[in-house]
Amino acid sequence: MKNLLPILVIVFLSAANTLAQIAAPSATPPPADDADVVKISTALIQIDVTVTDKSGKIIPDLRRDEIEIYENGEKQDISGFSFISNVRNAVEKGKVNTPAIPLPPTSVRPEEVRRTIALVVDDLTLSFESTHFVRRALKKFVDEQMQEGDLVAIIRTGAGIGALQQFTTDRRQLYAAIEKVRWNASGAGKIGAFAPLQARIDTGEEETEPVPGERTPEGIERENNDFRQSIFATGTLGAVNYVVRGMADLPGRKSVMLLSDGFKLFTKDAGGFVESGRVLESLRRLVDQANRASVVVYTMDARGLQVTGIMAADDTGGRSAEQIQQAASDRRDELLDTQDGLRYLARQTGGISIINNNDLSGGIRRILDDQSYYLVGYEPDAETFDPKKRRFNKLDVRVTRPGARVRYRSGFFGISDENIVRPKETGNQRLLTALTSPFAVNYISLRLNALFGSDARNGSFVRSLLHVTAKDLTFTAQPDGMQKAVFDVLAVGFGDNGAAVDQISNTYALSVDKHSYSKFMNEGFVYDFTFPIKKPGAYQLRVALRDHGSEKVGSANQFVEVPNLKKNRLTLSGVALESIPYDTWQNRNTGNAAKDDDSNPLSDTSLRQFKRGTVLNYGFTIYNAKLPANLTSQVRLFLDGRPIFEGKPQPVSLAGQTDPRSIPFAASLSLGTALANGEYVLQIVITDNMAKEKRKIVNQFVQFEIVD
C-alpha cells in the first residue's frame, strides 16, 4: 500500500500565540423533530397539513376537533394530531453588515438540521432576463435568509445534478453554485419571456379561414414548439424527482423551491386538439414521490409580472389588427398555461406557488415562513392497499375554523412504503450511497483533511489525508502470524455542478505484524492520495471506505476551493497541523529536541483530535504577495461557531525567503487546559498591506476537536 505514507514533513517556525485558561460552554443545539416523517403504511397514514389565515400566516393553535380528513370521500378517525413549529428568532430587518473578515462555516449534525432546502434552478426553461433575477435572489438568500441549522443545495436542472453531495451548510459552496447559474442557450428559454413577433411577408394571396382540425403551418409550428418544450419540461421534472428521492432520508422540514419559467400541462397538435401526455404523467410520478418522501414543493415563476400585449421589440409588419390581437391573446394563453403547471405541482404536494410577483427574494422569504405544519394521522382500512385495485387514494382535508385555509398533499398510490420493492444493495451500492450522503457515515470512523497546494513542477493539486480508525476494520489472523484486513476505497472529486471530475478506486489488502497491529489498533492509519487539478474552481472531495470482512461502510467529505493563481491574487494553501506536548515544544525552541519525540504530523493533520494543554503547530503557504512583501497575520478561534479568542495582528517574517511569491508560514497556538470539549475552528487571516483594499485580506481555516 504505497499510499499509506508513514510521515508528513512539516517545518514549523517558533512563533507562538498563547491561549490559556479559556472556558467556553458548548452550545446546545435545537431539538430535532423525529416525527417529521410522512408515513404511508398499512397501519398508519400520516400527512403534514399547513393551515393559514386569510393573510397567509400560520395558525398555530388549531384543535383536533377543528380538522377533518377524508380518504376517497370517506371521513377518517384521526388517531394522531400535533403541531410542528419551525419558527425562528426574528431577524432584524435592515442592511446586513458583512464583516471585513468572513466567519468560517460551521458543521451541522443530522440532529441539528431544522430545514433541508433544495433550490432547483430550472435553467432548461429560464429566459435570459429571468436568469439575472434568479441569481440575485439566490445571493440574497445565502447572504440574508439562510439560518443556522439549514441544509441547502442549489441545483441546476440543465447541468449534471450529480448526487446529493451538494447539500451543505457551507456558504462558499453555495456561492460557487450560484456563479454557475447562467442562461442555457440550448434550453427552451428565450431572451425575454416571449419571443418577439417577426414581420410577415405579404405574398398577395388571399387568406382563408382554416377548417376545424386542419393542420395549418401555424399549427405545425405550434405543435413542434410544444413538443420541444414538453421534452425540456419532462427533463426538469425528472431532475426534481431525482432530488426528491434523495431527500427522503434527510432530516428536518424538507422543501424544494423550483425557480422556473413554467411548463404546460397540456399541448395542442397542429389541428388544434388538446392532449395530455408526458408532462402530466411525469408530474403525477413526481407528486407521489414527493408525498412519500415528505417533501413539499414550492414553485416560483421567475418571469414575475409580465405584460402580454405588443411591445417595442415586436415587428407587426404584414399583420392585420385581428392578427395582432390574436398574437397578444396567444401570449396571455401561453403565460397562463405555463403557470398552471407550477400551480399544479405546488398544490398537489402541499406547497404554494409564487406567481406574478417581481420580488423573488420576497417570495423565498414567504416560503421560508411557511415551514410550520400539523402532523395528522389515521388508520387506513383494508381497501386502501388492495393489490387488485392499486388505485390512487385521494385525500381531502377540511378545517372548520372560519377564515382558515388549508394546504395538504393530494394523495398517494395504493402501495404501502413497506411493500415497495427495493433492490437489495450490493457492497458497491452501499459504498456509493455513503459517498453521496451529505453527512458522514460512521460505521467506520474516517476523518478527512484535503489541502490545496501548488508548486512549479506539478501546478495546483489537492493532497488528501484520510485517517482510518483501524479497530473498526475486520482483521483476520494468517498462518504466518500476520493480521490481514481487506477494504475498498472510493474517492471522487465533484465539481460545482455535481459532476464527477476525477476519482480513485482501489481495493487494498493490509497485512501487519503483531507489533504494527497493536499500534494500528491504538492510533489508526492514514491513507494519503493526491488529486491533480486541471482547472481552478470549487470542488467537493468525497471518500468512502468499505470493509470486506464486516461490510461496514464509512465516509468523509470536504469542500475545497482551488484558486486561479495566474490572476496574481493573494491566496493561502491548506493548513497542516501538528500537536505536541508543551515540554516538547519548549525543547524544540531551545534546540534540545528529545530523541523520543514521536509526533506524527500526518496523523494530526488528518485526524484533527487534540488534547487540551498541548501546543498546536500549524503551517501553510502564502501565494502572490505584492512586492515588496509586507504581510501581517492574525489568528482567531471559534467554538461551536462562536468566537472565543482573537490574537493581535503580527508581522509575517520574511527572513530567509528566496521567493516572496511563495512564502511558507508557520506558527504555534497553546491549547489552554481549561478549553471545553467540542468542535473548534482555527482561522488564520493574512493581510497584504501592499495590495488594493478589496484584495488585501484572505483567510484560511481548519476544523479540529478537543477531546479528553
Interatomic CA distance for residues 518 and 512, integer angstroms: 9
Which residues are within 8 A (CB) of 175 and not within 5 positions of it... i.e. 6 or more apart? 139, 142
pLDDT in tens, 205-237: 555 566 666 666 666 766 777 777 778 788 888
Question: Distance (Å, rounded) from C-alpha 114 to C-alpha 280?
Answer: 32
Rounded CA-CA distance 231/235 in Å is: 6
For the residues 443-457, what does the mean pLDDT come to?
88
On the question of pLDDT at 609 being above 50, the answer is: yes
Using a 10 angstrom Cβ sphere, with 0-12 exposed, 13-18 middle and 19 or more buried, the burial of residue 515 is exposed
Q: Sheet holding 253-260: strands in order across?
A: 150-156, 115-121, 253-260, 295-301, 353-354
What count of other Cβ atoms lies within 10 Å of the Cβ of residue 41? 14
Band (pLDDT 50/70/90 cuts) for residue 427 is low
2.60.40.10, 3.40.50.2000, 2.60.40.770, 3.40.50.620: which CATH number matches 16-27+426-707? 2.60.40.770
Binned at pLDDT 50, 70 and 90, residue 249 comes out as confident
Q: Is the dihedral of CA 421, 426, 432, 433 positive or negative?
A: positive
Q: Which three cell numbers stand for residue 209?
A: 379561414
Q: Which residue has the higher pLDDT, 164 or 501?
A: 501
Distance between CA atoms of 359 and 634, rounded to whole angstroms?
Answer: 41
pLDDT band at 257 (very low <50, low <70, confident <90, very high): very high
Q: Which of 20-24, 144-148, 442-446, 648-652 has the lowest mean pLDDT?
A: 20-24
SS3 per residue for 443-456? CCCEEEEEEEEEEC
Lowest mean pLDDT among 320-324, 634-638, 667-671: 320-324
CA dist 258 and 157 (Å) reads 10
SS3 assignment for 92-112:
CCCCCCCCCCCCCCCCCCHHH
Q: How sure is the predictor about 633, in pLDDT bands with cuts at 50, 70 and 90?
A: very high
Q: Which of 234, 227, 329, 235 is nearest to 268 (CA)?
A: 227
Q: What integer pLDDT is reported at residue 329 of this predicted model? A: 78
The 3-state DSSP class for residue 578 equals strand
- Answer yes or no: is pLDDT of 24 > 60: no
Query: pLDDT value at position 199?
Result: 66
Classify residue 614 as left (phi > 0), alpha (psi -120 to 50) or beta. Answer: beta
Query: Does position 9 have pLDDT exceeding 50, yes or no?
Result: no
Q: Which residues does 408 contact at the CB level (< 8 Å), separation at least 6?
A: 47, 48, 49, 50, 350, 395, 397
In this model, does residue 29 exceed pLDDT 70?
no
Provide the pLDDT confidence category of residue 418 given band limits of 50, 70 and 90.
low
CATH of the domain spanning 110-199+218-368, picked from 3.40.640.10, 3.40.50.410, 3.40.50.800, 3.10.20.520: 3.40.50.410
CA end-to-end distance (rounded Å), the chain: 32
Separation in Å, CA 164 to CA 6, 153, 432, 438, 574: 34, 8, 11, 6, 25
Grid cell, residue 415, equals 402501495
Mean pLDDT calculated for residue range 521-547? 87
For residue 189, what are the contacts with CB-CB under 8 A and spacing of at least 6?
Answer: 123, 124, 125, 126, 127, 128, 130, 131, 183, 261
What pLDDT is recorded for position 425? 64
Give the pLDDT band of residue 685 (cuts 50, 70, 90): very high
Coil vs helix vs strand at 587:
helix
Q: Which three cell numbers stand for residue 412?
A: 398517494
Structure confidence at residue 388 as a pLDDT band (50, 70, 90): low
What is the model's pLDDT at position 332?
A: 83
Using a pLDDT cut of 70, give the percent of the chain over it. Answer: 76
Residue 392's pLDDT is 74
User: What is the reported pLDDT for 273?
Assistant: 65
| CA distances, 571 to each of 40, 170, 621, 622 (Å) | 52, 19, 8, 6
Nearest to 171 by CA among 157, 151, 189, 191: 151
pLDDT band at 640 (very low <50, low <70, confident <90, very high): confident
Does residue 682 have a pLDDT over 90? yes
Highest mean pLDDT among 20-29, 122-131, 273-282, 476-485: 476-485
Neighbouring C-beta atoms of residue 107, cutoff 10 Å: 15
> Is residue 448 within 8 Å of residue 560, measured between CB atoms?
no
